[in-house]
Structure 1
Amino acid sequence: MNSTERLIILDRDGVINQDSDHYIKSLAEWIPYPQAISAMGRLSQAGWTLCVATNQSGIARGYYGEAALKQMHQRLHDLVHAEGGDIAHIVYCPHGPDDNCNCRKPLPGLLREIRDRLGLSGLEGSWMVGDSLRDLQAGEQMGCHNVLVRTGKGSYTEQKGELPAGAAVFDDLASFAHWLLKTHP
């Protein structure tokens, strides 16, 4: 397999940690799913490169600053490291929906940043895991295999029935990791 076929790009809120309609504004509010953290450790140990691509419009809205986000992401790195894993890169969009940036999912700017950071020519064959349609739309534009998890807003997204063709659906990140490690060792 080439390097893009061993790359998993994860949305953060609703996939790795609990989501909130009121935004995750501090380290105290950032509550990881334990099974997601252990799944990330297992995937990393099996040779998968893990990256995170997350919209964080709460910064533009003034709900929290980049220092608070950095604390959350450091805690994520620490937890995954404690499970024997590694996160290669975390990218985020700090803009609001009306800021006309090119990085806010469903636009593929964050995924392009990951591609460039990892020195890849493309992302075809990699995996995009999210809980919303916009996550999968960003992945689709970059040629990723799309995975919807039912955690976070995933069940609601699934019920709307607007998933890109070929998108796989799993209960959570742990069940996706279990399947992937069995089918793509």
Structure 2
Amino acid sequence: MITVLVIPADSTRLTRQHRLDPTDIPAMEKLVGGVLHPVSLTDPESSLYLPAADARFPGPCNMRATALAAFHTRPSRLPRTILRGDALLTGPTTTEGRDTDVPDELVSLLGNRMFRVQTKQSDAHKWTRGRRYVGFEHAYAHTCNAVRGIPDDAMPLIRILGASPATSDRKGNRS
């Protein structure tokens, strides 16, 4: 049995941990509502599963899964497509191809309400202090807008971290 994280497409619904047998593909498909489509994450290594695309009904946007695919793949690249449907997050696969427990780092991250997006140029030693946002999707959307138009060779490294609630922020979204 492994622990996975279910990420509903409806961002008003909380993520939840779920225990299942990693060889029970029908149980995994039931959690996402369709045939599994994998997306590999590399930072930390993990696997994100969504329902395979259906041209007739593409399913609701899952902005948290889309943001995970953007912020947790190295090098960070904004996805060209929006991920759709409920998602299932596991840890890295074993050499036998079996999924493992979801990384605690990602469970903790998605359990936050406040987030800080930091950037770093490839030649810099330190990350910027970054901006603070309420909601993972909000941090992702603002970051997408901020980096739109930056050529790939000038794109900074991007990371998202959980942040404690701001006490001195004027509007609650900057620091």
Q: Check whether TM > 0.5.
A: no
Give 1 or 2: higher helix fraction: 1
Q: Which has the larger radius of gyration?
A: 2
User: Using CA pairs below 8 Å that are at least 6 residues apart, which structure has the higher relative contact order?
Assistant: 1
